[in-house]
Amino acid sequence: MSNEALPSILTGVPSIFGEAFINSTYAFNDIESLPKILAKQGYETAFFHGAFNGSQNFDQYAKVAGFDAYYGKDEYPTPGHEDGKWGIFDEEFLQFFGEETSRMTPPFLTSIFTISSHMPFVIPERYKGAFGDSRSMFHESVGYTDYAIKKYFEYAKTQEWYPNTIFVITADHCSMLAKKHNQPPMENYSIPILFFDPSNDTPEVNPKNIQQIDIIPSILDYLNYPEPFFSFGNSYKEKTNLVVNLLNNNYQVMIDNYYFIFDGDKITELYDTTNKLDIKDLKHTITNIKRFELEQKIKAFLQTFNNNFINNTVSIKEVSN
């Protein structure tokens, strides 16, 4: 049976975001966010970004997302810690972050966006050569940020709030400088997501494919949050396995063990990732029915996503009506 013989219930789905969401025309939509959700539970919230105020529109978007306070380069009190490019070096700003967090009244939610492991990969002169070959600025900067995070945790462990805190560490995106050749396509666009609960002495590695929008439902699930909320993501506990990434006007999609490239209308590349060491190209072997099923699933997700942002219904209030 050919695809043409199957009834098509959804048409092509273009992206409504031609830029970063927080710089788009939808950035001021009434969204469901973790600060807004936890504020209802009595949480104090703050967002920290070591770069100059106004960078990437984070200060304005922090207000939209519902954070009570924003701390950027302008709020950092100590001179002499600037990198000359973005803002405050990670080591000093992470210490500032920890100290300001300790001034907050639990329960609280804080978030920090670090800058040193970002182009142009500037690190303090005193650490040059301390984190690997200094000729590799990318790897050296990652080593420096790793060290800065270590120093932060050394401080956090001394605080009363530490054992009652869930830490989430992830990246905003991968770096093309870390790209490896002869790797399956998705391997070069993967980022880590680490959930750390100091009170949990049974760590595990979850093989489930998750993405950044899965962080909120995962945290709320872990906290046994009892109220309904709006999210396009899925908790790490759920069986649903869906990852979507837009790159060069094509969607990279993972559904269960299938990885494929979707151009908004049809699948152009398709792989079986059951065995990570032996990724199988299914473009010419998968049945038309299965291909159609995968195309309809991603089209349904994207249409729901687009329509909710276009109609400004990305919150529980609109959904419940």
pLDDT at 104: 98
Tell me how far apart the alpha carbons of residues 208 and 288 are, in angstroms, rounded to a whole number: 26
Residue 318 has pLDDT above 80, yes or no: no
DSSP 103-160: TSPSSEEEEEE--TTSTT----GGGTTTTS-TT-HHHHHHHHHHHHHHHHHHHHTTST
pLDDT at 185: 62
**Up-side HSE of residue 237: CA atoms within 13 Å toward CB?**
9
Indicate the SS3 state at residue 140.
helix
**Residue 176: pLDDT band by 50, 70, 90 thresholds?**
low
Q: 16-25, 28-37, 159-168, 228-237: lowest mean pLDDT where?
A: 16-25
Amino acid at 171: A
Residue 76 has pLDDT above 90, yes or no: yes
Q: Is 302 exposed, middle or buried, given 0-12, 13-18 or 19+ CB atoms closer than 10 A?
A: buried
Indicate the SS3 state at residue 151.
helix
CB within 8 A of 35, min separation 6: which ones?
43, 45, 65, 66, 67, 68, 109
Residue 266 has pLDDT above 90, yes or no: yes
Query: From the CB of residue 87, how many other CB atoms can be counted at a distance below 10 Å?
Result: 22
Indicate the SS3 state at residue 35.
helix
pLDDT at 274: 87
Q: What's the predicted TM-score (pTM) here?
A: 0.87
For the chain, list the domains and their CATH numbers.
Answer: 14-236 (3.40.720.10)
Tell me what the mean pLDDT of segment 110-116 comes to.
97
